[in-house]
Structure 1
Amino acid sequence: MSVFVDVFDRLGQAFLQGLLQPFYYIGILLVAFHSYKQIQLERKLFSTRLHSMLDTTGRTVLGGLAAGFLGSVAMAFVGATLTLEALWWIWGLTVLLALLRIRFFCMAYAAGVLGMLHEVAALFPSIGEGTWLEGAAASLRDVQMPALIALVGILHLMEAAFVKWQGSRLAMPLFVENKRGRMVGSYRLQQFWPVPLFLLVPMAGGSAAELPWTPLFGGEAWAGGWGFAAFPVMLGYAETTLSRLPREKAAESAKRLLIYAVVVIGLAALAEWVPAMVALASFLVIGLHELLVWLGERAEAQEPPRYVHGARGLTILAVLPRGPAAEMGLEAGEVILKVNGIAVNSRLELHRALSVNPAYSKLEVLNLEGQSKFVGRAIFADDHYQIGIVLCPDEQVRYIASTKERSLVQLWKRSWKGTRAHKGETV
């Protein structure tokens, strides 16, 4: 019983320590700002918003809290000898890397770079003698890389679960220009999770009570006592699809992330047992993550775009939440063939067909299985003929999203560009 009392007491101390650290709050602010910029883009492209800033931020923060709890429990058995200096290194490198690419706002990249810096500092023990570099190099040498790499793997197990669970819900539809210069629809699946971790760490003069288990990493270090340390980090995920439904893309990405996480945990164990493998493990943490990105892009390049209008009908890119189309059960990727018995092949024809019988408009729709279904709903006066869908783009859209990968600084700038004609809007 005394062990559990000691655990809760030291967790409380770590929680108070975490309240004084700015990193977690910075992560939440960045998530909120990223959501705000997404909504700005939605309004520009579609003249409405499809997501709520409060809902999006709330979901990601709750997901991060869940990941923090599960990751902390897992690391209690793995063992972590990570210090406050390691936390500063992780966040400093995370911000610097995010200045290059926003998708680098993920712990995997910072941990990999930190591991290679750790090895450089170990190879040159006299580096920076008599200068501030000496202290920096010493703090690098003190970072326990196997524990940090294991943490990357465990957190990516959580990320795989959240991508499977949340990835398609928060996917953002976009108008983009493909490599052939054609206007097509796409979905951007991009999320960041601020994760508050409370890591069990060996601590000289720490708890007097003995742990009822022995963590995997750390060895004899646990004999001197133990405690908890607040260690907030960021997880990030970014994918774009022109050929898959958001739920299909999220499921595919989740499988790859799961494999990546298992491999990284294996690399952490290898680095613990064979210290000379730390450099290779650190390099692979980054290289394998980049391989995931490349595999996703390669799969997209091999498939034709899905969100385009075919020879018949109008393809739905997105359905507005709680709108008439959502009530009728319409889904992204389905094709509207007829409205009130009239074939529709343009936005103007759709508006005219809806006005034929606003009392109860009946739609013939080709569903995702390639079969026809019939749905209907009254179109009320205050609906303004809006049935709550975003159609795939045509040559008449005025704005399209930029497909250029952005940095943290560029996130402040606009993320769309003008085209030749009229503004895209919901129907």
Structure 2
Amino acid sequence: MSVLPELLASWGTAALHLLIQPYYYIAVIFLALYYRRQVVLERKLIHVKLHRWGQETWRAVWTGALAGLAVSAAAVALGITVTYPAVACIWAVSLVLMLFRVRYLCFAYSIGILGLVQFVLSFFPGSLQDGAAGTVAGAVRGMDIPALLILAALLHAAEALLARWQGPRLATPLFLAGKRGKVVGGYQLEAFWPLPLFVLIPAGTGIGELPWHPLLGGGLGLVSLPVIIGFSEMTQGMLPGRKSARTSGRLLVYSAVLLGLSLLADLWSPLTVVAALAAVLLHEGLSWYSALEERSLSPVFVHPPAGRKVLAVLQGSPAQELGILPGEILLKVNGVLLTGRAQLHEALRMNPAFCKLEVQNREGESKYLQRPIYDGDHHQLGIILVPDPDESITAAAKPSSIFSIIGMQAGVQQRGARPDRLGRAKKSQPAEPKQESAGADA
């Protein structure tokens, strides 16, 4: 087919353009800073490093690249088009939104807002024709909002699949202030992926027509559009796997609804503003409903009267080898019934050569585990226990901001701290040092 070499040349040109423009590198730098901050938070709260920021950044890059290629193939098949000025507008809106909250760094928010701006500009056709404002207004007026919202729906479908696949392993255990003032365990499920997208240039600027009939039209030339997708959830009432599964399912429903509305808007343009509003409001509705659901649930990660509940298990640790899972309860260690943190360490040191455990699984059934203790193990199992109700440090309740990520602020707060006259946290009393740090509970 004669058009195939031209199509491949367009892919090559778009890939080169992706490498020389700053947007993709900004996305990767943001991810590196975010995961570096995650490591700082883990060290501050639990005194161990569960994730490696370099490894997590690389994982996000290569899995995001695969997802980007899949979404790009679907976008090209549908004939979704975008222009270079539209790319600049999308990124400008995304960067501004990110200054308010990191979770606003979302393609649906940017396109939805630009769709609403386009709707407002349609009432003033003769305004903003000259200068820089005229250039921006012209770019917004020329955007194919329904097609871009279809692309947003495809991106959220990819986000849902990535959240389901990688969400549990990316979860960070936290110490959180509970509803009754006591400290409870919980998890933050937050991840981002940079996607290199390749979409079509409008037919008038392309070098030819596609060898198939696309649903939305579109020419043969391609343009690169790097975007960031991601999700952010926090839970006290569910295990990470269950929370990520629910989040994934709701994102899939959202993407299906947005896809349907956008396709209808492409057929009948007055529905464009409805689809743009739905892109923003339904997405906010997901966050609101998730928070409402969490408030209705009882905390999962609290200690029972007898035994110590497991919040997290370190990778490659003896506890992982034994098959101990988050949410299970250590009942006895070397025959000692556990009712406090110090008892665990004392029981582990009772037998210098062997460790016998009685563990209650999530279904309430007991299982018996044993393992020899080798030189260098330091009598530790690699378990992070649920915090005590009077733990002195908890994770901050406020959402992450771009400034806290750039500044490597850990996002923790001292319990019992009072704000001073400048609004800063002021400790009422210094915290008493504990015999063992939270990260070395076992």
Q: Give the Cα–Cα distance (whole angstroms) in 2 for the partners of residues 102 and 418 of structure 1.
A: 23
* Aligned equivalent of 1:425: 439
Asked if structure 2 preserves the Cα contact closer than 8 Å seen for 1:126 and 1:134, the reply is no
Structure 2 gap ranges (5+): 416-430
Return structure 1 stretches of 4+ with deviation > 6 angstroms: none
Shift of 1:90: 1.0
SS at match of 1:186: strand
Asked if structure 2 preserves the Cα contact closer than 8 Å seen for 1:192 and 1:234, the reply is yes
Alignment of 1:91-106 (within 5 A): 91-106=91-106
Q: Give the Cα–Cα distance (whole angstroms) in 1 for the partners of residues 361 and 254 of structure 2.
A: 35
Is 2:368 the partner of 1:374?
yes
Q: Mean Cα displacement is larger for which, 119-128 or 64-73?
A: 119-128
1:58-89 CA distances to partner (integer Å, 9 max, x unpaired)?
22112211111110011112222211111111
Alignment of 1:2-401 (within 5 A): 2-204=2-204, 206-208=206-208, 210-218=209-217, 222=218, 225-395=219-389, 397-401=391-395
Asked if structure 2 preserves the Cα contact closer than 8 Å seen for 1:75 and 1:199, the reply is yes
Q: Mean Cα displacement is larger for which, 150-159 or 402-411?
A: 402-411
1:12-61 CA distances to partner (integer Å, 9 max, x unpaired)?
11111111111111111111111000001111111110111122112211
Structure 1 gap ranges (5+): none
1:225-282 CA distances to partner (integer Å, 9 max, x unpaired)?
5211111111120001101111111111111000000111111111111111111111
**TM-score (norm: length of structure 1):** 0.95
1:295-334 CA distances to partner (integer Å, 9 max, x unpaired)?
2112111110001101110000000000111111111000
Shift of 1:379: 2.5
Asked if structure 1 preserves the Cα contact closer than 8 Å seen for 2:318 and 2:381, the reply is yes
Shift of 1:124: 1.2
Q: Give the Cα–Cα distance (whole angstroms) in 1 for the partners of residues 350 and 265 of structure 2.
A: 70
SS at match of 2:122: helix
Residues 304 and 25 of structure 1, relative CA distance in 2, 3 Å threshold: same
Q: Give the Cα–Cα distance (whole angstroms) in 2 for the partners of residues 383 and 397 of structure 1.
A: 27
SS at match of 1:39: helix
Residues 110 and 7 of structure 1, relative CA distance in 2, 3 Å threshold: same
Asked if structure 1 preserves the Cα contact closer than 8 Å seen for 2:303 and 2:309, the reply is yes
Q: Give the Cα–Cα distance (whole angstroms) in 2 for the partners of residues 20 and 365 of structure 1.
A: 55
What amino acid is aligned across from residue 349 of structure 2 in structure 1? Answer: S
Shift of 1:336: 0.2
| Pick aligned residue for 1:414 from 410, 413, 418 | 410
Asked if structure 2 preserves the Cα contact closer than 8 Å seen for 1:397 and 1:424, the reply is no
Q: Give the Cα–Cα distance (whole angstroms) in 2 for the partners of residues 191 and 78 of structure 1.
A: 28
Shift of 1:205: 5.8
Q: Give the Cα–Cα distance (whole angstroms) in 1 for the partners of residues 305 and 107 of structure 2.
A: 46
Q: Give the Cα–Cα distance (whole angstroms) in 2 for the partners of residues 95 and 379 of structure 1.
A: 52
- The two structures, once aligned, show a CA RMSD in angstroms of 1.5
What amino acid is aligned across from residue 439 of structure 2 in structure 1? Answer: E
Residues 66 and 216 of structure 1, relative CA distance in 2, 3 Å threshold: same
Shift of 1:284: 0.7
Shift of 1:3: 2.8
Q: Give the Cα–Cα distance (whole angstroms) in 1 for the partners of residues 160 and 352 of structure 2.
A: 45
What amino acid is aligned across from residue 424 of structure 1 in structure 2? Answer: A
SS at match of 1:304: coil
What amino acid is aligned across from residue 19 of structure 2 in structure 1? Answer: L
SS at match of 1:368: coil
Shift of 1:203: 3.8
What amino acid is aligned across from residue 50 of structure 2 in structure 1? Answer: L
1:118-160 CA distances to partner (integer Å, 9 max, x unpaired)?
1112221222344432222111101110111000000111111
Asked if structure 1 preserves the Cα contact closer than 8 Å seen for 2:99 and 2:401, the reply is yes
Q: Give the Cα–Cα distance (whole angstroms) in 2 for the partners of residues 229 and 155 of structure 1.
A: 17
Q: Mean Cα displacement is larger for which, 379-388 or 252-261?
A: 379-388
Residues 279 and 241 of structure 1, relative CA distance in 2, 3 Å threshold: same
Q: Give the Cα–Cα distance (whole angstroms) in 1 for the partners of residues 207 and 140 of structure 2.
A: 27
Q: Give the Cα–Cα distance (whole angstroms) in 2 for the partners of residues 272 and 336 of structure 1.
A: 58
